Structure 1
Amino acid sequence: MSLPPLLSWVLIIAGVWSLLVWPPFLRRVLKDPRAKDESGKYTRFLMVHFMLVSISMILGLATAVIGVRSLIGG
């Protein structure tokens, strides 16, 4: 894949940003009282946010990998 180096760096930075920003968000969601019901079971609130974070991190990793591969010419 051939991209200009600047665009490769944009992809790398965007990917790393996603990998850094989402885990603290998930930790806050896990501490939120809406994450579990009265009996301690996980709620839909938690599951929706867990899926949001998971998908965002997978896409962030893919974005960073594409940026690195395009930068090194792989």
Structure 2
Amino acid sequence: MKLSRPVSWFLLAFGVWSWVIWITFVKNLVADGSGLAFDDGHPTAYFWVHLTLAVVSFVLGTVVGVIGLRGLRALRRTS
């Protein structure tokens, strides 16, 4: 199955966007001063749940971006 050029670019952009958003989220999570993420310097359940969410999103965003990149490379070879 071939992906069209616009779809491939969209998937690649989504992968990059996912990394930008989730890196910012993790930075903010680690720097949290409200007491939700850390209790007396120890990570809370809130921290672990949201860190897991970020890691899963990193992986899925990377997979989607790689699919888009492979689609663009395949289109370049055939044209």
* 1:22 CA displacement: 0.6
Of all paired residues, the percent bearing the same amino acid is 37
Letter in structure 1 aligned against 2:38: K
CA RMSD of aligned residues (A): 1.4
TM-score, with length taken from structure 1:
0.90
State the alpha-carbon separation in 2 of the partners of residues 31 and 44 from structure 1: 16
- Unpaired runs of 5+ residues, structure 2, are none
Alignment coverage as a number of residue pairs: 73
> Which structure would you say has the larger Rg?
2
State the alpha-carbon separation in 2 of the partners of residues 36 and 14 from structure 1: 31
State the alpha-carbon separation in 2 of the partners of residues 24 and 5 from structure 1: 29
TM-score, with length taken from structure 2:
0.85
* 1:10 CA displacement: 0.5
Moved more, 29-38 or 43-52: 29-38
